[in-house]
Amino acid sequence: MNVLAIDTSNIAMSVAIIKDSRLVSEYTTHVKKNHSVQLMPAIQRMMEEAKLQPNELDRIAVAHGPGSFTGVRIGLTTAKTLAWTLGIPVVALSSLEVMAFRGATFGGKVSPFFDARRGQVYTGLYHVQHGEVSIVGNELNVPMTEWLEKLKGEGEPVLFLSSDLEVHREAIQETMGDLALFPIHGEVLPSAGELGLAAMTKEPTPVHELTPNYLRLAEAESKWLAQQEEKKQHDE
């Protein structure tokens, strides 16, 4: 299987090619530049290195958030356009799940996260075992202090994975103590290679049904609906 994988959902941008079910080419940058300018040249370069023509691709894999609203839209729009043009399926994975795969050799609980400003993070809890990654509960947009207290209460060691690790490392250590585990080299960047490999066994989503996984927008909508329900009950 040949897969083009794209992740522009956060500051880091990552593009990879899976050829004959093997990772053969990957490019990741953590420079604050416009992904819309960098993405297509990076895709072209990866395709050339892999000696693949567009019509030889079997599917597109894309990280559809949460993360930067603009970054998520760039990746999703590019993936949808390419898939529609080439007539091939798209597999969309959570950006947090993609980050969780960076801890695939770890056995236990993993908490990938992205800084969402004002003390908030996009995060979730994943269980990693024998290279398999599965989510525990739901992904959240939540204050980091609240998330850490919840994890501390569960009393299990947690591996924290993030390209924004240094922003929250001190708070994590203060709250979690010895239960907090970190990668040897600190901050971890998302890998389109991991995304592409994972996408080979995932069910594609019809192109017209692909939507961003913003989390924050979904929570705002949920709160609005709750307020409307309360208002309705009050009026009755």
Confirm whether 135 is domain-assigned: no
Instruction: Please tell me the total count of domains within the chain.
Output: 1
Q: pLDDT confidence of 130, banded at 50, 70, 90?
A: confident
17: phi then psi, degrees, rounded to nearest 5: -120, 125
Per residue in 137-193, pLDDT (tens digit) is 999 999 999 999 999 999 999 999 999 999 999 999 999 999 999 999 889 999 999
Running DSSP on this structure, what letter comes out for residue 203?
A: P
pLDDT tops 70 at residue 218: no
Q: Tens digits of per-residue pLDDT, 35-64?
A: 989 999 999 999 999 999 999 999 999 999
233 is a domain residue: no
**Is residue 103 one of the residues assigned to a domain?**
no
Mean of the per-residue pLDDT values of the chain: 92
**Could you tell me the CA-to-CA distances from 106 to 12, 17, 100, 189, 224 in Å, in that order?**
23, 25, 10, 16, 39
Examine residue 84 and state whether it is found in any structural domain, yes or no: yes
Judge whether 40 lies within some domain.
Answer: yes
Q: What is the mean pLDDT of residues 88-106?
A: 95
Q: Residue 207 belongs to what domain range?
A: 3-95+190-215
225 pLDDT above the threshold of 70: no
pLDDT mean over 119-135: 94
pLDDT at 223: 65
Q: What token pair was written down for 57?
A: 């691709």
What's the average model confidence in pLDDT over 208-236?
A: 72
SS3 labels along 13-81: EEEEEEECCEEEEEEEECCCCCHHHHHHHHHHHHHHHHCCCHHHCCEEEEECCCCCHHHHHHHHHHHHH
On whether residue 34 sits in a domain, the answer given is yes
| Closest C-alpha to 3, from 65, 41, 67, 46 | 46
Residue 118 belongs to some domain of the structure: no
Q: Name the residue among 166, 107, 110, 118 with its Cα closest to residue 144.
A: 118
Counting residues of the chain whose pLDDT is more than 90, the rounded percentage is 83
pLDDT > 90? residue 215: no
- Specify which residues 19 forms β-bridges with: 22
Structural contact between residues 95 and 190, judged by C-beta atoms closer than 8 angstroms: yes
Let me know if residue 86 belongs to a domain: yes
Q: CATH no. for residue 11?
A: 3.30.420.40
